[in-house]
Amino acid sequence: MTPSTRPAARPAPGVRRPADRSRDLALVAVFAALVCALALTPGIPVGVLAIPITLQTLGIMLCGAVLGPWRGAAAAALYLLVGAVGVPVFAGGAAGVGVFASTGAGFLLSYPFAALVVGLLTRAGIRRGRTVPGIAVGAVLGGIGVVYLGGVPGMALAGHLTLAKAAALCVLYLPGDAVKVVLTVLVAAPVHRAFPRLTR
């Protein structure tokens, strides 16, 4: 066999090809942009601290549920970075590092971890042939549980509230969060049926 007719060498298992890395970066950028777009939809202020109900967390759930744990977390982190450097992509068009001292800072900082958990549980469900339950559990535990785990203490600290009072205020957001879980399943499940290797 001459050099010109030899088959191209395949990359070793676990080695990412340049094309794969480029695709990963593109997906991360697209989903970070999706979170930006969802965050800029008009929010509904609720509670004594007027923290708005927005679609940001729907974007975070989709990051993890569609992209998987690491790319999902990277997309969420990129969203935070874009807002921190001054691009007005946070709820209400807010921007800058000062947002991370607000009553909603804990929610924002939880986003990469939330996407990571959503992605891990989604991937585990897919590998067991239980895609829809995996997405649903991931969205509930990551997109709601992890977000509130970071958000409630941040709200209490910045708003000078007790943890119990801050947690009670968050009850107002749960119906909307439940709708976001359903939407995440409705979007992510067909994507994984069409692209079964997406989360790897």
61-83 pLDDT per residue, tens: 999 999 999 999 999 999 999 99
Confidence of residue 198 (pLDDT cuts 50, 70, 90): confident
The tokens 């990551």 sit on which residue?
142
Residue 43 has a pLDDT of 64
Note the pTM of the prediction, 2 decimals.
Answer: 0.86
24 burial level (CB within 10 Å; 0-12, 13-18, 19+): middle
Share of the chain above pLDDT 90, in %: 66
Q: Architecture of domain 21-192 in CATH? A: Orthogonal Bundle (1.10)
The tokens 């649903």 sit on which residue?
136
